[in-house]
A and B are shown apart, each in its own frame.
With several copies, the nearest count.
Chain A
Amino acid sequence: MTYDVPAPLVSRRKVAREMWVLGFEAAPIARTVMAGQFVNLLMRPGPLLRRPFSVYRADGDVVEIVLSAVGEGTERLLDLTRGELVSALGPLGRGFQLDAGPGRVTLISGGLGVAPMPLAARDARALGLEVAWVHGARTQAELCSEADADRYYWATDDGSTGVHGSALDAVPPSEVGHVLACGPNRMLAAVAARWPDAQVAVETYMGCGTGVCLGCAVPRTSGVYDRACTEGPVYRAGSIRWADLPAHLHYRVTA
């Protein structure tokens, strides 16, 4: 079931340099969203089209997203004053699929790829799974200050904290369970090379978010393009033709 609700901004906090968490009151979405699903937000005044954001946390009636300003839409969102309304369409897309525990999941996130992880950790725990989280960023100041897992591991491109390298370099072999990853597409390509069965949340431009425009094409190894907003945004890493998927968002991490 999808909802389109007027959602007032209710909270805002900084979680890293230039990285913010915004909370919107959107009860029906908050109550039903699953890890890896997203909301498509409309701002008026604002750009013509909606902007898609993974749900970061869902708490009671509030849906949280995490973002940085990269263009007009994200700038408008970060300019919102408390109580200002956006139109929130969601929950949209297919999220992470988890089997009940015992077992272990390994969350791997690069930069803003942390977005779907708190919900993934929540759902994994609820299924009795152990959660390890490996998070990477360009530098210490850009690491998300919030994490929610049984064990954490950090990586920075400049070595300012944690492993000197990418999130992938920081995954302890001992911790490798079922891998759920999100980050720049080129990081996800590296994940796919190592763990074809990993579940990855990809990004594409989106025209509608509801499956009608075919703008969010994801090239599958089966040869077809399908829709990130409908069959995705979560895919088996090995099922995507990474070379044909644009890098898009310039996340502040290298893969």
Chain B
Amino acid sequence: MSGSLDVGGVRLKSPVMAASGTFGYGTEVPLCDRRHLGGIVSKGIFLQPRLGTPPPRIAETPSGMLNAIGLQGPGVEALIRDYAPQWASWDFPVLVNVNGETVGEYAELAARLDGVLGVSGLEINISCPNVREGGMFFGNDPRSAAAVTSAVRQRTSLPVWVKLTPAVTDITEIARACEEAGADALSAVNTFVGMSFDLQSRQPRLAFHTGGLSGPAIRPLAVYLAHRTARAVSIPVVGIGGIAAAEDAMEFLLAGCRAVQVGTATFVDPNAIGKIVEGLRRYEELLRPPD
């Protein structure tokens, strides 16, 4: 697994990246062996600053966690001012996770980030509510997923990755739509919508009521969706979901992914990614095509 690789126009230092929203802006996580980082995807950003949702924002579930952060963030201008300059000095690529409430917002954000030093690519988060279509996720519908993708594609010269929403009837339909709309790679998958109730209050445990499920619990679902996606498109697929060890990353690579992203595992062990990359050395021969 040593040696860098090209994934959808981005030069990764290793096949293991930090997933959006689980590594901040790359400046926070202590104790992480950065030599092993394939690259990072920054916390999801909007054009404008966002407060985020009220607490409680997270709840633990069996082998997983629900989160409803509400994409809290400083907005794109602060990101360009405060973080991009630091990124420019790092030896691994940083992709920006771009979000919007309308196709226009995504496009404007992409345009603003185009050519910003330190930004190596964009990952479009299409698991955002489309305010124009009754709050349905852009990623739930091939047409709106494609609309966002091509709008972004037209406004940037940066590599464009699209991060797929898992809870759809047929993910290959969405994947192909994004590929045709000009995506350079697909990230599969985002969190699954879930809910949990607190018995004392009889209310949902999260103030936002629903949240995104992440962690080992979703791994078999994510491996399946990443596998189907990889078979449906010819652009590279980056596997995401419940990876906590080299063996887990291997499942996604065997499923046809070119690289992986690690999220929740970094909360458990700040150096999870470093350990995964070291562990992958044991499996290098497995990755050669069978003879």
Q: Direct contact between A and B in the complex (CB less than 8 angstroms)?
A: yes
Interchain CB contact under 8 A, B30 and A215:
no
A210 at the interface (CB under 8 A from B): yes
Q: Return chain A residues, CB-CB under 8 Å to B207.
A: 246
Q: Return chain A residues, CB-CB under 8 Å to B269.
A: 4, 42, 87
Interface of chain A residues 206 through 255 with chain B (CB within 8 A): 206-219, 223-225, 230, 244-246, 248, 250
A100 at the interface (CB under 8 A from B): no
- Chain B residue with Cβ nearest A209: B267
A57 at the interface (CB under 8 A from B): no
* Given A48-B65, A48-B268; A212-B55 close (CB under 8 Å): no
Q: Count of chain A residues with Cβ under 8 Å from any Cβ of B?
A: 35
What distance in Å separates the Cβ of B173 from its nearest Cβ neighbour in chain A? 32
- Digit string of B160-193 for contact with A (CB within 8 Å is 1, else 0)? 0000000000000000000000000000000000
Interchain CB contact under 8 A, A213 and B51:
no
Give complex CA distance A2, B269 in Å.
13
B221 at the interface (CB under 8 A from A): no
A89 at the interface (CB under 8 A from B): yes
- Chain B residue with Cβ nearest A47: B60
- Digit string of B44-59 for contact with A (CB within 8 Å is 1, else 0)? 0000000111111111
Interchain CB contact under 8 A, A218 and B55:
yes
- Give the dominant DSSP class at A's interface: loop
Number of A-B contacts (CB under 8 A): 105
Give complex CA distance A244, B52 in Å.
13
What distance in Å separates the Cβ of A241 from its nearest Cβ neighbour in chain B? 10
Interchain CB contact under 8 A, A213 and B67:
yes
Apart from the given pairs A4-B270, A207-B67, A250-B200, 20 other A-B contacts in the complex at a CB distance below 8 Å: A42-B269, A48-B63, A48-B64, A48-B65, A48-B216, A205-B56, A207-B58, A207-B65, A208-B267, A208-B270, A212-B28, A213-B21, A213-B22, A213-B58, A215-B67, A219-B54, A225-B51, A225-B54, A244-B55, A246-B55
Return 13 A-B CB contacts under 8 Å, by A number: A4-B271, A48-B268, A87-B269, A89-B270, A205-B57, A207-B58, A211-B28, A213-B58, A214-B21, A217-B52, A217-B57, A219-B55, A225-B72
Chain B positions near chain A (C-beta within 8 angstroms):
21-24, 28-31, 43, 51-60, 63-65, 67, 69, 72, 200, 207, 215-216, 264, 266-271
Chain A positions near chain B (C-beta within 8 angstroms):
2-4, 42, 47-50, 87, 89, 204-219, 223-225, 230, 244-246, 248, 250
